[in-house]
Chain A
Amino acid sequence: MQTDLIQEARRQAEVCNACRYCEGYCSVFPALHAKRAFSDGDITQLANLCHNCRGCYYACQYTAPHEFALNLPQALADVRVDSWESHAWPGGLGKIFQRNGVPIALAALIGFALLFMIARAFGEEGGERYYSVVSHGLLVAIFAPAFLFPLFAIGVGLRDYWKTVGGEKVRLAHVTQAFGAAANMKNLKGGHGDGCNFEDEDRFSHARRAAHQLTMYGFLLCFAATCSGTILHYVFDIQGPHGLFSLPKLFGLPGGVLLAFGTAWMASLKLKSDPELAAQNAWSGEMAFILLLFFIAMSGLALFVAGSSAVMPTILALHLGAVLAFFLLTPYTKMAHGFYRLAALVRDAQSGR
């Protein structure tokens, strides 16, 4: 962790602790006000609890040009991104991807797409539809480790995080509370229920919360589609492509639409928001992550539309390439935020406030 970032966040937290006007906005302030002094772990926890709703910034009488120069959203965002980078395993990978998303995501996309084109050249003859492009065996050989490895890496990072923030034994009630807060994005509601400040300075709106929820639920539906397809394949020996009223399609179609719409909205909101209130030099990494999700959603939907036409293999390669990149980069990109945010919410639930 970078001590100068933590020290700056600590300086600002101490001003906040003497003011307390923002107590009602989100979970960060009650957690902050419960302390008299802030360890590095405390600051890391506060940083991951912060959803960057920016309410505190626009309400703050101590923002620059005031000599106290508070910008808590940015100070916490800097610590937060730094904490993902430094907890990422293996070390160093987070530093490459968190802040340099655009070129790397593109490179990964093209690389993986090429890989699949090659795979197609060696693909089995005679498979049904998708498997005529990439054989099922090859798919599993690539995606099983590509899925399991990031999960393992995230687990290592989270264990490290839990140690840093002094987490206690997790009980079901903590998890329930944390998932509840994430499920309705309580911390982007602004305490008063008017939403957060993002795309238009101090105007409160639910736009960002809505865009985030479309993205999150869209993603989860897509993930459910994948899982149900896998279960159908292995448990019931029903192989894709599935009919319109099959579980994978019922999850995947609306999921893809929500994800596409959510990420597009998120990207447009991000273009309007003030980058000075976000982590320094992380904009391109974050935007690349949003666009990668958008690409996955759109290519997935395109695949559905393309059916068995001639462009299908190309789209499939691009789609699978993007999915593979997404899985592999999960611990090292903005995607990590979901896991750390949940961990922070669980930790906060343990405080019993």
Chain B
Amino acid sequence: MQTDPDIVVIGGGNAALCAAMTAAEAGARVLILETAPKPYRGGNSRHTRNFRCMHSGPHGPLVESYSEEEYFADLLKVTAGKTDEHLARLAIRTSEECLPWMIEHGVRFQPSLSGTLSLARTNAFFMGGGKSLVNAYYRTAAKLGVEVLYEAAVTHLELEGDKITRVDFTYEGQKKSLSPKAVVVASGGFQADTDWLTRAWGEPAKNFLIRGTPYNRGIVLADLLDQGVESVGDPTQCHAVAIDGRAPKFDGGIVTRLDCVPFSIVVNKDAQRFYDEGEDTWPKRYAIWGRLVAGQPDQVGYVIIDSKSLNLFMTSVFPPLKADTLEDLADMMGLPPDKLRATVDEFNAACGDDSNFHPTELDNVATTGITPAKTNWARPINEPPYYGYSLRTGVTFTYLGLKVDDHAQCSTASGPIQNLWAAGETMAGSILGQGYLAGFGMTIGTVFGRMAGREAANYAN
């Protein structure tokens, strides 16, 4: 760009792209500053797969209907009420008009993926997943004249009074500055900054795995918070799930999930069980297991199943450890063999009639007389070979973020910042106080991204 752009969008994922496209369509000259190199562009959106969408009747790939009330009730359940009802309902209500907009901007949907039928009514799946969505948006943005710089790391936004006056960033080894009319921050949470995560969580956070992009280090977020921009959310809250302990430190994404917990017993490193593995179906429980595992010594869990359960869940990318005896499996997993044997024996003795076992429904096949109980799918672990997986906490994104109003605008204690808007994970804590609802991150990103783009363009024009 010859002169400073009208709008700088910080970040290169779904929310950033929605903001950039919307602003460009409103006639603004937009520059995206994406920290990641091109192959890793798109932040956590690369790893997403669907968009939770309200709809009053069959809508694109979605069947039946999903009302605002039901959607909001689902949100209340997972957040235990810790949400901002006004913003949440705004996101929910706007999601319906987003779906056709997404299609117009190049996103393609596909029928609910195998193994995810339970989401066919509520969640629209991107054909090819989030990276294909990101690719389509970059193509559309380019056609709209949006410029993109990759490996452009924003270091500082200069806040003077109630305005951002300068954006500092590094690009191709040089320090650069721009003075756009408006800025949209859509650069995610801080989960990839292990030090920050450790300050918030304590030492255990060092053992957490980061499921998504290594580029969300919260640099812009910290810079703005330091300057008194209002924040929302609890720094200890995040979308965290239990994933395969062998997953890479960063960017393991969807394939590291482990769906076998309901058919297993899970023990800690002392070979003791610590929670009801059969409390509910896995899609409703994988998030709380992230926290459960985080609470165990060394932040690790060990999943033990036997041969009769091996084919009941989706394959993981890492094959399980396998042994003919529990003692051998314990040795392979670094667990005390005698203690594992004792735990399994005790568990098996507490199992009763399992003739009503049903892998996809709550079957009430429960243990009696042990603590913690296993309240569904409780079958004895007694048919070799035995299989084991390790479980660790995988963080998707942190909830401490920028507080926004219902125009996606940021503020300080003395009032709104005239030319700063935020969208996506960096402000999702405004709506998600705790817990997570599958596909809701993309809803927040799309709704608030478009809103931020529109508002910023209005201001800049």
A-to-B contact residues, CB < 8 Å = 14-15, 17-25, 30, 33, 36, 55-56, 58-68, 190-192, 194, 202-203
Contact = CB atoms under 8 A, between A and B. Distances in A.
Candidate in A58, A62, A64, A67 with the most chain B CB atoms within 10 angstroms:
A62
B248 A23 contact: no
Contacts of B109: 192
B131 A19 contact: no
Given A36-B315, A62-B255, A20 B128 contact: no
A192 B108 contact: yes
Contact of B128 (A30, A56, A67): A56
A18 B128 contact: no
Contact of B131 (A24, A59, A65, A191): A59
B401 interface: no
A58 B131 CA distance: 8
A192 B136 CA distance: 13
B320 to A, nearest CB: 12
Interface in B41-63: 46-47, 49
Contacts of B110: 23-24, 191-192
12 contacts: A17-B314, A18-B316, A19-B254, A19-B255, A21-B130, A21-B254, A22-B129, A36-B311, A55-B128, A55-B132, A65-B40, A192-B127
Given A21-B49, A61-B253, 8 more contacts: A25-B127, A55-B132, A58-B135, A59-B129, A65-B39, A67-B248, A192-B110, A194-B108
B251 A66 contact: yes
Given A19-B254, A23-B110, A192-B110, A61 B127 contact: no
Nearest to A56: B128
B317 interface: yes
Interface string B428-449: 0000000000000000000000
Contacts of A62: 253, 255
Interface of B: 39-40, 46-47, 49, 108-111, 113-115, 125-132, 135, 139, 248, 251, 253-255, 257, 311, 314-317
A17 B131 CA distance: 17
Contacts of A58: 128, 131-132, 135
A74 to B, nearest CB: 16
A21 B113 contact: yes
A15 B132 CA distance: 18
Nearest to B248: A67
Given A18-B315, A23-B114, A67-B248, A59 B135 contact: yes
Contacts, number: 89
Contacts of B135: 58-59, 202
B255 A24 contact: no
A25 B255 CA distance: 19
Contacts of A68: 255, 317
B317 A15 contact: yes
Nearest to B107: A192
Nearest to B256: A18
A29 B128 CA distance: 11
Nearest to B37: A65
A17 B311 CA distance: 14
Contacts of A14: 315, 317
A198 to B, nearest CB: 14
B315 A24 contact: no
A225 to B, nearest CB: 40
Contacts of B40: 65
- Sorted nearest first, the 9 A-B pairs with minimum C-beta distance are A59-B128, A24-B110, A21-B129, A59-B132, A18-B255, A192-B108, A18-B317, A202-B135, A24-B127
A229 to B, nearest CB: 46
B310 to A, nearest CB: 9
B139 A203 contact: yes
Contacts of A191: 108, 110, 127
B47 to A, nearest CB: 6
Contacts of B315: 14, 17-18, 36
Contacts of B255: 15, 18-19, 62, 68
B314 A61 contact: no
A308 to B, nearest CB: 54
Contact of A24 (B128, B139, B314): B128
B131 A20 contact: no
Contacts of B254: 18-19, 21
Contacts of A30: 114
Contacts of B115: 20
Nearest to B49: A21
Candidate in B128, B132, B135 with the most chain A CB atoms within 10 angstroms:
B128
B130 A61 contact: yes
Nearest to B310: A36
Nearest to A36: B315
A61 B129 contact: yes
Candidate in A15, A18, A61, A67 with the most chain B CB atoms within 10 angstroms:
A61
Nearest to A30: B114
Nearest to A55: B128
Nearest to B259: A18
A33 B128 contact: no
Contacts of A203: 139
A15 B40 CA distance: 18
Contacts of B130: 21, 61
A21 B128 contact: yes
Contacts of B113: 20-21, 23
Contact of B114 (A33, A36, A60, A63): A33
Contacts of A15: 255, 317
A149 to B, nearest CB: 44
A5 B257 CA distance: 27
B317 A63 contact: no
A153 B228 CA distance: 77
A63 B129 CA distance: 14
Contacts of A18: 254-255, 257, 314-317
A203 B110 CA distance: 18
A69 B315 CA distance: 19
Contacts of A61: 46-47, 129-131, 251, 253
Nearest to A200: B139
A14 B318 CA distance: 9
Nearest to B50: A21
A317 to B, nearest CB: 50
Contacts of A55: 128, 132
Contact of A25 (B46, B49, B128): B128
A63 B253 contact: no
A63 B127 contact: no
A230 B311 CA distance: 57
A44 B251 CA distance: 30
